[in-house]
Structures are given as C-alpha cells and as structure tokens.
C-alpha cells in the first residue's frame, strides 16, 4: 500500500541494509562457481570452468559419480511425491466428506502426529529398517520420507476438499453416479490446484532432505545430492568453497527453477495451507 | 458398521497403513527401546553368552569374587571319552585304553598334574613333547565359546567342575550376556550426564532466541514490504523467501563460506587489520549468533509469508480511514495491523516452539554442537548419542530415552494447542448420508 502521507525511502534503506548479507551470499554463491579469486581479495579476477569439473571428470576412487547421485535424488523425490500425494488425496477426501467412525479421533490424531518430527522417530526407524533389511536402500528412505510428510499432506488436501461445493457432489449422485465415481470424475478435477501445490511442495521437501538419507542410507550406492555435498564438505581438510558452491548450485538449480515457476502455489502452502 | 463407513475407511486405509507402520510403531518402539540398553556393542538382535578376557574383566568390575573369576578364566583338564578318542587317534589304542581304564572321569587343575599322571602309565608316549601334546587333548575350558542360552553356559561351567552359588550364577549370566536387556537405567543415566542441564538450558535458549528473531524479523519484513510498491516488495520477499526453500546443506554452506577463516568476513576485516579466524566456531557466543541467525532467517521466511497474507486480508477501508484522520504509519501499525495479527503470531509461536524444540539439522550442519558443546541442544544430543558419535558406540537405548522426552513434551504441547485453536471448528458433519 502506498500513500502520500508517508515517504518510502527510509523503508528502502533499512530493508536494503538488512538484506545485504543475504544478497552478498547469493551473489557470491553463483559468481564463485565460474571465477577464481586471489587469496585475501574480495573481488574475483578470472573466469574459469574448472570448478565444474565434477560434471565431466571421472570421480575419485571411493566416490560415486555425480550423475548416479542425481538420478538417485530424482527417484527419491519422485517416488516420495507419488506415494505421499496418492495417500493424502484419498485420506483428505475421507476426512473431509465421507462418513467415518471416530472421525474426530483420526483428525486429532493426524494433528498430533505432526508433533512427532524426525528426531523422535528416526532412532527406532533406523533400527526397524536394519531389522527388515531396508537399511541403506532408497526404498527405505522413500517410505519414511513419504510417511513423515503425510500428516501435512492430508491436512492440506482436506482443506482443499472442504472448499469444493457440496452441490457438485449432490448433482452427481442425483444423476446416478456412485460416490467413488463422483470423487474421481467430479471432485478431483476441482482440487487439481491443491494436488499440484502439494506435489511441488513434497517434491522440493524430498529433494532437500538431508537427515533421513544421511542416517538411513549413508553408503555410496544410495547416496543423494544432499549427503553427497555434505560428505564432500566434511571430508575436505582444506575446503575448496568454489567447488562446493558449484556442486551446491547444481543441486539447487531444480529448486530454483521450480520456485520461479510455481511461486504462487508454493506461497499458498508455506503460508499455512489453503486460503482461509 | 454401516456401508457408508466402509467407503470412508477404504479411502483412509492407504494413509492409515503408512501411518501405522512408520509413525505408530516407531513411537511405540521408541518407548520400548528407551527401556533397553541397546547399543552397537549389544547389537539389535538377540545376543549370546561367552566368557572371554573382556567379559571376565566386566565380571570382576561387577563385584564377583576374585577367586571365582580366576577359576572361570582357568583351563582345566578332564579325562573324558572325547579326549580318549582323540588320544587313540594320535598315540595309539594302547595308550588310550590305559588312560581310559585308569583315569576316566578324573580332573586336573593344571596341565602339569595331568602330565605327571601320564608319566606313571606304561604305554605313555616316549618324548616329553608328546606327553604335553597328549595332555592338551584333554584341555577343557569355557573360554571363548559362544552359548546361545544361559542354561548351556551354566551346564558347561558345571561340567568343567566349577561350583557356583545361585548368586554367582545369576551374576555371571547377567554380566556376560552380549545382547541387549531390559532396563530402566536410561533415565537415571541421563540425569547423571554432566552436561545434561547445560544442554537443557541451551535448548530453552535456542528456542526462545530463534523464536524471537524469526517472529520479530518476520513481522518487520511483512509490514515493511506491505508499505512498499508491489514490484519492489516482490523482490524483497523473494530474497527473504529463498532461505526457506534452498536445501539446508546449501544454505549452511553459504554461511560457512561467510564465516570461514579464508571466507568473506575474514577477508573483509583483514582490510582493517583484524587477523583471519573462523568467525562461526572461534567462541561460543559467535556460534550462538550464527545459530540464531541461520535458524531465525529460515523462520522469518515463514513468518513473513503468513503475516503478509494476514495483513492483506485487513480491509483497506480501515487503513484509508485512519490516514484521513491523520494517523502516522507507526500508529497504523500499532492500532490496526498488530491487533489483527494476534492469531497468526500465536500460531507461529505455537508451531515454531514445537518444531524448533526438535529440529537440529541447521545446528548439525553448521556448528555440530560446537565449539566444545556450547551449542548442543536436546535433539542434537539424542542424535549424537544414538546415531552419530566419535566414540563409535552408538547407544540406541539411551538416545531413544532422550527422544522419548521430546515425544512427551510434543504430545503435551499439541494437546494444549488443540484446545487453544478450537479443534471443534475443524470437524464438520458430512451433508450426504451415503
């Protein structure tokens, strides 16, 4: 909101000053990947593609190729999204529209589950996966990640279903369709924006996930980009920040692209689920 | 149950199955594990009974009599059928028969005694070395043998002629069992950890400071961007929303680069003659500043979005009216905007308290609790204890007990929140009875 009563420049000044550190970090994050800087100086002085060599060079012994790791990350994020969204869409509809025994109990339970974040579960999940032999596999991490995001997913989808007018369903039933057909043919198309938003949200969340792969699948073959990058940083005695940043930018690119495309939908979910 | 219920349950079942497997069972198992002494040393499946040098030391530490420990560790020599068969194969039937007929069932506490007895026999092997070897065939010891059950172990010990009182027997089987056992010691152990109160204090400090930073900064950003023309507001919002969406490994990497001794701050301050150092890890206070900044900015992104959309829903006419009445911007904020933001602020506080209490990824990646445990918080301590420590012995049981504390706090808090945020409004009755 702008108004003639107020001047805007003090706001600009304060906002610019406090945003400075972040902006500097963003700018250097990108600039450093293609330049070299003389030690002790702040201004980069030569152009180079040397820091991106991890893309085409053979990996050092003991390390996995970045492309394998990227593929793993993609499989991890996609499967997590599929499982999470399908379970959320059905459960959200049941909780929003269908007759259920113990409905209050289920709803309260799902809200309470949200109070169990990773650390409270990960120790026993770690032991469970070891007992059933899914430790160090992508399948294990996918299942766990999809489950941990489920309460939020159900809650968001319930919000979207709540906003669909009852008249649509009543009209469908009047015309002789079953409850299932009504859901599949009439209601689901209505909540498409919700499904899209939730998919993007879960995909990004899985793409960024660090703790679960780190604990549940630490070995080379099931590595994902987050653990790859953190191992790279952790192993190095003399840090090569330009190279870390190149891997980081490579890792963050899908996130940034998705963010640019789905800006609005994401704000909706991060801003507390649905409108209202 | 009516048919309509079945449809609802059917729709719910995939989610229920996943929740049952990966939420309810893990929570129950966390409770179970927190009453065991499970660790890397005990393994997670069952254990076995084995007497060896290490377990004898443990036995002595546990208060067994010295003589008892010594007898267990000693070898004994028993003339039994197995030994006789072996002797027959090595030194001939004649010797074996003589040993069998004269000495069957006898015990010797040292090899020398057995050798002396052998020397009295007519058909003994000629050389001293052979006698020694023959004696070795009769060596019986419980050392370094795995027994699956306590009964097997006790039987073997008794067979070797070692007498045990029931007390000693119980102490023995309890101490040398290599698997995990039930115990309620974890909570006492937790209270005895010398730094546990400091960690608890750190946790409170972390939650309070980060919450204050993220709510304060989030409010500030939401209000200031509200007053800016929409094009510049969008770019500032983008700058401040990115931390929430960037993978945490990368976000922390940027801060590490900023603080490293060859990084931005050191290079910048070098111009003013300040020697380079790692600004994040060189003192506890610095580490705290970075922890609060990193987590606070991520929290502020969420706050900015939530508060921003709440401000947008304030009727514009109220603001216009106040302007006509000559309200300053400060008065608008205090009397119109902030009162309208009461619920979003409460929601953020409630939500963030819980998630901060249990989130540790940013701390793990940036300071890892350092320097010297200055920034170790409760959830990180549980993680370190159970899943990642330098000593290499991961104490699952103790770590689960620490996590259980968080579970209890989490349940209590969410019950309180359900009351505050009017749960009943969220549950509406379906309008189709089919």
| pLDDT for the residue numbered B4 | 67
Domain ranges of chain B: 75-140, 195-394
| A276 band by pLDDT with thresholds 50, 70 and 90 | very low
Cβ–Cβ under 8 Å, residues A1 and B319 = yes
Across B306-333, average pLDDT: 85
Task: Output the six-digit token pair for A136.
Answer: 């160090």
Region of B58 please: left (phi>0), alpha (psi -120 to 50) or beta.
alpha
The phi, psi pair for B186, rounded to 5°, reads -55, -40
Higher pLDDT among residues B258 and B57, named by residue: B258
Percent of chain B clearing pLDDT 70 (strictly above): 94
| B336 band by pLDDT with thresholds 50, 70 and 90 | confident
Cβ–Cβ under 8 Å, residues B95 and B124 = yes
| pLDDT for the residue numbered B209 | 94
Percent of chain A clearing pLDDT 90 (strictly above): 17
**Residue positions counted in chain B:** 434
Cβ–Cβ under 8 Å, residues B375 and A137 = no
Q: Which of A90, A99, A125 sits opposite B22 (nearest CB)?
A: A125
Quote the CA–CA distance of B98 and A52 in Å, as a whole number. 83
Set of chain A residues whose Cβ sits within 8 Å of the Cβ of B29: 124, 127-128
Chain B residue at shortest CA distance from A20? B239
CATH of domain A64-270: 1.10.3720.10
Nearest to B72 by CA among B175, B149, B179: B175
| B172 band by pLDDT with thresholds 50, 70 and 90 | confident
Quote the CA–CA distance of A104 and B384 in Å, as a whole number. 37
Interface of A with B in 197-216 (CB under 8 A): 204, 207-208, 210-211, 215
Q: For the ranges B301-315, B351-365, B416-430, which has the lowest average pLDDT?
A: B416-430
Q: Does pLDDT of B159 surpass 80? A: no
Cβ–Cβ under 8 Å, residues B399 and B383 = yes
Cβ–Cβ under 8 Å, residues A242 and A32 = yes
Quote the CA–CA distance of B376 and B364 in Å, as a whole number. 9
Mean confidence (pLDDT) of chain A:
84
> Which stretches of B202-270 are assigned E, i.e. beta strand?
none
What are the tens digits of pLDDT across the range A15-40?
A: 899 999 899 999 988 888 888 887 77
| pLDDT for the residue numbered B428 | 55
Region of B129 please: left (phi>0), alpha (psi -120 to 50) or beta.
alpha
Higher pLDDT among residues A1 and A60, named by residue: A60
| pLDDT for the residue numbered B98 | 80
Q: For the ranges A138-147, A192-201, B72-81, B262-271, which has the lowest average pLDDT?
A: B72-81
The number of angstroms, rounded, from the C-alpha of A69 to the middle of its chain's C-alpha atoms is 17
Domain ranges of chain A: 9-48, 64-270
Strand A35-36 vs strand A46-47: parallel, antiparallel, or unpaired?
antiparallel
Q: For the ranges A16-25, A137-146, B182-191, which has the lowest average pLDDT?
A: B182-191
Across B93-101, average pLDDT: 80
Quote the CA–CA distance of A67 and B397 in Å, as a whole number. 38
What are the tens digits of pLDDT across the range B222-257?
A: 998 888 888 888 888 889 988 888 999 999 999 988
Percent of chain A clearing pLDDT 70 (strictly above): 92
Q: Does pLDDT of B434 surpass 60? A: no
- The packing angle between helices A225-235 and B248-259, to 10°, is 20
Architecture of domain B195-394: Orthogonal Bundle (1.10)
Q: For the ranges A208-222, A244-258, B342-356, which has the lowest average pLDDT?
A: B342-356
Q: Reduced to 3 states, what is the DSSP secondary structure of residue B412?
A: helix
Q: For the ranges A117-121, A148-152, B12-16, which has the lowest average pLDDT?
A: A117-121
Q: Reduced to 3 states, what is the DSSP secondary structure of residue B96?
A: helix
Q: Is the dihedral of CA B431, B3, A105, A84 positive or negative?
A: negative
| pLDDT for the residue numbered A232 | 84
Region of B10 please: left (phi>0), alpha (psi -120 to 50) or beta.
alpha
Q: Residue B155: how many CA atoms within 13 Å on its side-chain side?
A: 7
Nearest to A53 by CA among A65, A37, A43, A70: A65
Task: Output the six-digit token pair for A170.
Answer: 């009543």
| pLDDT for the residue numbered B213 | 94
> Whose structure tokens read 């879960």?
A202
Q: Does pLDDT of B380 surpass 80? A: yes
Quote the CA–CA distance of A148 and A194 in Å, as a whole number. 19
Set of chain A residues whose Cβ sits within 8 Å of the Cβ of B27: 116, 120-121, 124
Mean confidence (pLDDT) of chain B:
82
Contact of B405 with chain A, judged by CB distance below 8 Å, is answered with: no
Interface of A with B in 109-168 (CB under 8 A): 110-128, 130-131, 143-144, 146-148, 150-151, 154, 162, 166
Q: Does pLDDT of B271 surpass 70? A: yes
Quote the CA–CA distance of B202 and B292 in Å, as a whole number. 12
A25 vs chain B: nearest CA distance in angstroms?
6
The number of angstroms, rounded, from the C-alpha of B247 to the middle of its chain's C-alpha atoms is 24
Cβ–Cβ under 8 Å, residues B47 and B150 = no
What are the tens digits of pLDDT across the range B293-308?
A: 999 999 998 888 888 8
Set of chain A residues whose Cβ sits within 8 Å of the Cβ of B224: 11, 14-15
What is this model's ipTM? 0.88
Across A182-202, average pLDDT: 88
Q: Is the dihedral of CA A7, A12, A15, A18 positive or negative?
A: negative
Nearest to A114 by CA among B415, B146, B310: B415
Across A241-247, average pLDDT: 87
Q: Which of B44, B305, B427 sits opposite A104 (nearest CB)?
A: B427
Q: Which of B221, B249, B413 sits opposite A115 (nearest CB)?
A: B413
């Amino acid at each position: 909101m702008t108004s003639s009563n107020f001047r805007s420049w003090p706001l600009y000044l304060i906002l610019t000053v406090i945003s400075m550190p972040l902006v500097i970090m963003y700018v250097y994050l990108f600039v450093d990947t293609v330049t070299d800087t003389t030690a002790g100086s702040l201004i980069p002085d030569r152009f180079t593609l040397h820091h991106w060599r991890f893309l085409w060079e053979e990996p050092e012994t003991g390390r996995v190729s970045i492309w394998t790791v990227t593929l793993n990350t993609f499989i991890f994020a996609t499967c997590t999204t599929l499982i999470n969204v399908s379970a959320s869409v059905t459960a959200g509809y049941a909780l929003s529209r269908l007759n259920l025994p113990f409905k209050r109990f289920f709803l309260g339970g799902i809200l309470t589950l949200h109070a169990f974040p990773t650390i409270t579960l990960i120790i026993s999940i770690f032991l469970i996966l070891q007992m059933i032999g899914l430790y160090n596999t992508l399948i294990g991490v996918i299942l766990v990640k999809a489950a941990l995001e489920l309460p939020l997913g159900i809650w968001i989808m319930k919000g979207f279903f709540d906003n669909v007018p009852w008249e649509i369903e009543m009209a469908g039933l009047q015309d002789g369709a079953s409850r299932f057909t009504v859901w599949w043919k009439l209601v689901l198309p209505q909540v498409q924006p919700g499904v899209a938003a939730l998919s993007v949200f879960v995909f990004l969340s899985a793409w960024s996930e660090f703790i679960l792969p780190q604990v549940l699948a630490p070995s080379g073959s099931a590595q994902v980009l987050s653990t790859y990058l953190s191992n790279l940083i952790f192993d190095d005695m003399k840090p090569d920040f330009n190279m870390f940043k190149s891997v980081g930018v490579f890792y963050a690119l899908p996130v940034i692209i998705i963010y640019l495309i789905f800006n609005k939908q994401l704000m909706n979910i991060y801003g507390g689920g649905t409108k209202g | 149950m009516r048919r309509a219920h079945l449809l609802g349950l059917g729709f719910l079942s995939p989610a229920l199955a996943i929740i049952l497997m990966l939420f309810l069972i893990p929570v129950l198992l966390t409770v179970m594990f927190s009453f065991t002494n499970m660790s890397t040393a005990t393994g997670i499946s069952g254990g076995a009974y084995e007497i060896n040098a290490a377990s004898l030391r443990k036995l002595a530490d546990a208060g067994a009599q010295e003589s008892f420990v010594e007898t267990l560790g000693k070898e004994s020599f028993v003339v039994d059928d197995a030994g006789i068969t072996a002797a027959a194969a090595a030194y001939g039937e004649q010797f074996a028969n003589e040993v069998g007929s004269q000495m069957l069932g006898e015990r010797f506490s040292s090899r020398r005694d057995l050798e002396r007895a052998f020397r009295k026999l007519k058909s003994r092997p000629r050389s001293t070395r052979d006698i020694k070897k023959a004696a070795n065939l009769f060596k019986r010891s419980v050392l370094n043998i795995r027994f699956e059950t306590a009964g097997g172990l006790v039987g073997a010990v008794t067979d070797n002629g070692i007498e045990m009182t029931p007390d000693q027997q119980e102490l023995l089987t309890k101490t040398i069992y290599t698997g995990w056992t039930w115990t309620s010691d974890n909570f006492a152990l937790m209270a005895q950890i010398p730094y546990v109160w400091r960690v608890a204090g750190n946790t409170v400090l972390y939650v309070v400071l980060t919450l204050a930073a993220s709510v304060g900064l989030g409010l500030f950003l939401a209000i200031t961007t509200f007053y800016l023309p929409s094009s510049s507001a969008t770019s500032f919002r983008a700058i401040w929303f990115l931390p929430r969406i960037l993978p945490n490994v990368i976000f922390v990497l940027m801060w590490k680069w900023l603080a490293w001794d060859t990084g931005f701050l050191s290079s910048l301050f070098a111009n003013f003659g300040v020697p380079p150092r790692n600004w994040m890890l060189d003192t506890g206070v610095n580490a705290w500043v970075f922890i609060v900044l990193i987590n606070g900015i991520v929290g502020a992104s969420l706050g900015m979005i939530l508060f921003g959309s709440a401000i947008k829903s304030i009727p514009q006419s109220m603001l216009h009216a106040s302007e006509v009445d000559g309200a300053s911007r400060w008065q608008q904020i205090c009397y119109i905007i902030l009162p309208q933001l009461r619920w979003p602020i409460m929601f953020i506080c409630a939500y963030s308290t819980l998630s901060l209490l249990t989130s540790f990824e940013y701390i793990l990646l940036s300071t890892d609790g350092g320097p010297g445990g200055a920034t170790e918080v409760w959830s990180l301590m549980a993680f370190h204890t159970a899943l990642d420590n330098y000593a290499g012995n991961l104490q699952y049981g103790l770590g689960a007990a620490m996590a259980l504390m968080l579970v209890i706090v989490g349940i209590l808090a969410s019950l309180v929140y359900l009351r505050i945020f009017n749960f009943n409004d969220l549950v509406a009755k379906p309008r189709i009875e089919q």
